Every structure is written in C-alpha cells, then in structure tokens.
A = this chain, B = another copy of it.
Amino acid sequence: MEEKVITLAHGAGGRQTSDVINNIFKKNFANENLTADDAAVLPMDAGKIAFTTDGFIVSPALFPGGNIGKLSICGTVNDLSCMGAKPLYLSCAFVIEEGFPIETLELIAESMAKTAKEAGVRIVAGDTKVAGKGQVDGVFITTTGIGKIQEGVNTAGDLAKPGDAVIVTGDVGRHGCTILVARDSYGIDADVTSDCAPLWDAVKTMIDTTKDIHVIRDATRGGVGTVLYEIAEQSSVGIRLEKENIPVDDKVKGVCGMLGLEPLYLACEGRLVVFAPKEHAPAIVEALRKGKYTQNAAIIGEVTKENVGKVIMKTEIGSETILPAPGGELLPRIC
C-alpha cells in the first residue's frame, strides 16, 4: 500500500477499494473459496447448518491477549461451536474510520487469518466501508459464520434439566477485566490478558466424550452470570453455584476486589458454560483439562427444580445468596 492511512477513497468502491482488498484482505485470507464476485460459492452437504452473526466494536482495538480481529473470528467461531456445529465459512464486513492507520489494519487482518487457520475455518466473503473522521471510532468488524451441525448433537438454551451439572471451561471474567485495565480509566496497573480463543476443539472434545450435552453457551457480554440467568429463564429451572469451585485468576480477583466487581459478570471471550447430566460431568471436565484453552475447566454448580429463573450462590462460608440479575451497562464496547 502506498498510503499510510485509510482515506474515504478506500471506501468508494473503485481502484483504491481494490487496493485495500487485494493488499490487505486477499493477501491474508487467500483460499480457494474466497470470492471475487458478489458472493462466495460454497459446496454444501445435506443436513443442518448453524448460521450466526456478531458485530465487534471493542475499544481499545488492540489489547493484551488479542485485538478486534482475533476477537471477531473467535466470537463467531464460538457461537457456531456452541450449537455443536463445526465452523466452516466466515464472512467479514469492515467499517473503518478515515485516517485509520493501514499498519494497524494489516495487523488486524493477519491476526484474523491466523485465528481462522487455527479454528479450521475459511474467510470467503467480505465488505469494506469507510466512514468520515469522527463518524466511526476506529474500526468495527462484523463476522458471520456457517457451520455444520454434527450428527447426534442437540444443544439449545431451553434444554437444561434438573440434575444437570454446570461446567465452565476455564477461569472467568478475564476479557472484561483486561479491557477495563487497558482503558486505563481506573488507573489500575495489572498484568491481565484476555482469554480470547477459538473453542471448536473444546466442543469437539466434549461431544467426542458424550453427545448427551444439553446446553453450550459462550459467556461473552455480561459474563457467566448473564448466561446462567438466560438459561435459568429459557429452561425454567433454578441454578445453584458453589462459589469456591468457580475458577478466577488471582489478578482478576485483585482488580475485582479493588473495584467491587463480581467476576461472574465480566465478559469472557474464550469460555463456555456447559450443562450436561451430572453423571457425564467428571468425564467432560477431565477431557477438557487436556485441551489448550480449557485446562481450568471445572464443575461450578447444578441445575435445580426449585428457584426457577434464579441463580443461587453458596459462598465459601456456607451461606446462600441470590446472584443479582444482570442488567444495566457494565462496561460498554467490551466486544
């Protein structure tokens, strides 16, 4: 690229748009399905597919443990994975602010390509728009994914049942904590990194252990606490947590302690919440602990018939409290 920053011409659909597409996106995303036309042409077997979209507006765009590009791949890969679907194809649509450094855009694209490769997914279609200075803050990316739902897997938010164990695949709240510290608005200096990671391998590990899994959700905005409340409502059940079993990184605990935050409500970007019959839970956790991103997997609670729609937490000293229902603005532009 001749230019150092994005200009409005890069979004006008002409020669300069082609420059960005060829020199940044095609260069990084090259694969045999990547389209040069209005749409990618993809072969499909008969069966069920999963289809999901997510917009990413995280600020700052670069943070310890990742950047908006890596996040945009992980987020959509993980949403597909949660449906028991092997991620196959992604599209990505960029809205970029006039004046955005091309070097940073390249870094983001490289990171997307690397993460897509790790997740075994192909970026096959895209779009690039440029908005004027001050009309969009930096870069926003929307990724959309198609995955193939694996035979015999049937997970959904309304399938949790009394007697299910509640599993998390690792320590909670790290992404939210990282963004909070990176924004520097609290003057806290802590060496926290985002948990941002693609989780298809983790899901595959679980369904290879047992197909009898009721719910898989990735805990992003709103954290594990929000997911638990959603499932409690959708499945009309209660949830009971054992606080001492919830894995939380010591540094995250420290930051949360200082600011009076509950790690269960801080976003994760590489953690799944899983509901499966109690008898399968130990085998699932054991298998997960061998995985790259799931070494701290743990059973953190169980599903109950009583307390429908509520999440009860048993503290270390044995008392029981109702986890407050999620709501309000915790931290804007977390993802």
Contact = CB atoms under 8 A, between A and B. Distances in A.
Contact of A326 (B15, B38, B42): B15
A278 to B, nearest CB: 23
A51 B12 contact: no
A301 interface: no
A8 B329 contact: yes
A41 B50 contact: yes
Contacts of A156: 37
A95 interface: yes
A79 interface: yes
A238 interface: no
A322 interface: no
A111 interface: no
Interface residues of A, number: 86
Contact of A13 (B15, B132, B221): B221
A93 B16 contact: no
Contacts of A92: 53
A131 interface: yes
A14 B149 contact: no
B327 A16 contact: yes
Nearest to A76: B39
A326 to B, nearest CB: 4
Contacts of A169: none
A61 B52 CA distance: 25
Contacts of A142: 53, 55, 93, 127, 142, 144
Copies of chain A in the complex = 2
A124 B146 CA distance: 13
B327 A9 contact: yes
A42 B48 CA distance: 5
Contacts of A298: none
Interface in A84-120: 85, 89, 91-95
A184 to B, nearest CB: 16
A231 to B, nearest CB: 11
A323 interface: no
A9 to B, nearest CB: 4
Interface in A111-139: 124-132, 134-137
Contacts of A20: none
Interface of A: 7-9, 11-17, 35-57, 59, 78-80, 82-83, 85, 89, 91-95, 124-132, 134-137, 140, 142, 144-147, 149, 156-158, 217-218, 220-222, 226, 234, 325-333, 335
25 contacts: A8-B329, A9-B329, A11-B329, A13-B226, A13-B326, A14-B222, A14-B328, A15-B325, A16-B327, A36-B158, A37-B82, A38-B50, A38-B217, A41-B48, A41-B149, A43-B47, A44-B46, A53-B127, A53-B142, A54-B127, A56-B129, A93-B144, A131-B137, A136-B140, A144-B144
